A and B are shown apart, each in its own frame.
Chain A
Amino acid sequence: MRNFLCCNNYKYMQALTSRAKQVDRRPMSMLERAYLPAIFKGMIITFGHIFKKKPTINYPEVTRPFSPVFRGLHILNRDEEGRENCTACGLCAVSCPAEAITMEAAERQPGEEKLYREEKYAAKYEINMLRCIFCGLCEEACPKDAIYLSETFAPANFQRKGFIYGKDDLLIPNPVTEPEAYAKAKGGRVTIK
């Protein structure tokens, strides 16, 4: 209706962008003062939005696809027989820039060969999720493919101590006894070598 672009008073001024619009201060015409045509125009615009595709993703039911490099909560991996990979070497704890990882090592006793892959294992393994910055350096440091960052992201908790994840929270479900839960926890990225 109104031409915002031409205005002779300002022709010596340099516009900063090509999209600059001069404010038109001419008195409004009769049609513009009637106000109703402008309202109808606006109402047609909003009506058009009824048919637009909604960008919302219904979060708990539908999740956005993750990028292949997404770094979520950690999992402690098992091999295909369900034995824990971790040998409590401590490289992840050393590599961790946030100092979120602590562990205690223990020696495998005779009869525990089904539980732990090598002679040494982590008796206690804790990650403080409040300290963790999800950089993924632990994943890179691990020589045994024992720790991975999964596609789950940190859930809420009511207490601080709820954020210190122990082995119960971190260990991936056993692939032999609970294959479905294992596949779900594994997601699309973790591979066992």
Chain B
Amino acid sequence: MLLSIGLSLVIEKLVLIVVVVMASLVIAMYATWAERKVAAVLQDRRGPNRAGPFGLFQPLADGLKLFFKEEIIPNLSSKFLFILGPCLAMLTAMMTGAVIPWGDKVHFFDRDIPLQIADINIGILYVFGVVSMGVYGIMIGAWASNNKYSLMGGLRAASQIISYELAMGIALIALLMSTGTLSLKEIVEQQQENWYSWNIIKQPLGFLIFLICAFAECNRTPFDLAEAENELIGGYHTEYSSMKLGFFLFSEYINMFLSSSVMVSLYFGGYDIPFLNDAAFSESIGVNWMALIHAGVFLTKAFAFLFLFMWVRWTIPRFRYDQLMNLGWKVLIPLALINMLVTGAFILFQQNNWHF
């Protein structure tokens, strides 16, 4: 029975994939608009307001502009890899969305359709694998450009992501010890009972480490050394133009959105509505409406994180490279290890009924 997949399942998953991909593309598109608006508002400016009401058509104009620009492939670059780089960055950015539970389930055509593309039992490991693949896009693109600044940007990106992934992984191990599962769906369901069953209450230090590492993984300020424009001209995307550059920039925003989603599902109860008994509420308004509200709540939380990403970007300056490495190796990893040890000891005592 393992390989007998019904046609309806295929259709249902395909529809879900299209919806999730489209939604993350649109959200990333408007994240570029939101970034400019947030930057403007934090700096007492007005931001884009020419194209459409409140400048809402600005992302369309930007996208069109990128499409119409001349596509330049440097003479001495390795052409295949040069094109592969941004494609890989985009692909890996979108793949994370597959395991995130956007809501509980909907009920259509006598079928319960879970609002998650794939509930795999190693969900978190999958996210980690895909996220660390993301740096390949940057590395390949940087190397293929045959430009020293690009290469330096790529090197910085690679070493930064490797350094911060360690701390991120260890911070997550502490979380996984307390939840006892790797499946994102189960982690979210464990947090449904109360607002104080959210993992942020159990793992505040772990969340802080995870948040800092998420900033680093997304190459966002204060960790945007890979594209430090005043040192490296533009870092890994110096030689890129037209939509290939657009792909790199776009994948950054998709990454931001999806890492916000991961943080929401890991630490902030996923689609859980705080101060409300979700199950009872679901009884009264029906499963489908509940799924809609759940998705809305999930997106609200994710957007709050997106705002945090932008807020931090327009507040603090970039780290120096040695500061970045010091923070990663000498502060975050020891902190994450201590967090893991304390969590482990706590769980051990709990299982032992607080006897030493």
Using a CB–CB distance below 8 Å, which chain A residues touch chain B?
39, 42-43, 45-47, 49-50, 52, 54-56, 58
Contacts and interface: CB of A to CB of B under 8 A. Distances in A.
A47 B314 CA distance: 10
Contacts of A47: 42, 311
Contact of B42 (A39, A46, A58): A46
Which 7 A-B pairs rank lowest in CB-CB distance, beginning with the nearest? A46-B315, A46-B42, A42-B315, A43-B315, A56-B46, A50-B41, A49-B42
Report the interface size class on chain B. Answer: 10 to 19
19 contacts: A39-B316, A42-B316, A45-B315, A46-B42, A46-B311, A46-B315, A47-B42, A47-B311, A49-B41, A49-B42, A50-B41, A50-B42, A52-B44, A54-B45, A54-B46, A55-B44, A56-B45, A56-B46, A58-B46
B43 interface: yes
B208 to A, nearest CB: 8
Contacts of B312: 39, 43
A interface, by DSSP: helix, strand, loop or mixed?
A: helix
A49 B44 contact: yes
Interface core residue of B46, B312, B314, B315 (most chain A CB under 10 Å): B315
Given A39-B315, A39-B316, 7 more contacts: A39-B312, A42-B316, A43-B311, A47-B311, A49-B44, A54-B45, A56-B45
B305 to A, nearest CB: 14
B314 A46 contact: yes
A50 B192 CA distance: 34
Q: Label chain B's interface by main secondary structure.
A: loop
Interface in B202-229: none
Nearest to A45: B315
B46 A49 contact: no
Most buried by B among A43, A47, A55: A43
A55 B46 CA distance: 9
A105 B279 CA distance: 92
A52 B42 CA distance: 9
Contacts of A45: 315
A124 B44 CA distance: 50
Interface string B316-343: 1000000000000000000000000000
Nearest to A43: B315
Interface in B229-279: none
A47 to B, nearest CB: 7
Interface string B18-47: 000000000000000000000001111110
Nearest to A36: B208
Contacts of B46: 54, 56, 58
A43 B42 CA distance: 10
B32 to A, nearest CB: 19
Contacts of B315: 39, 42-43, 45-46
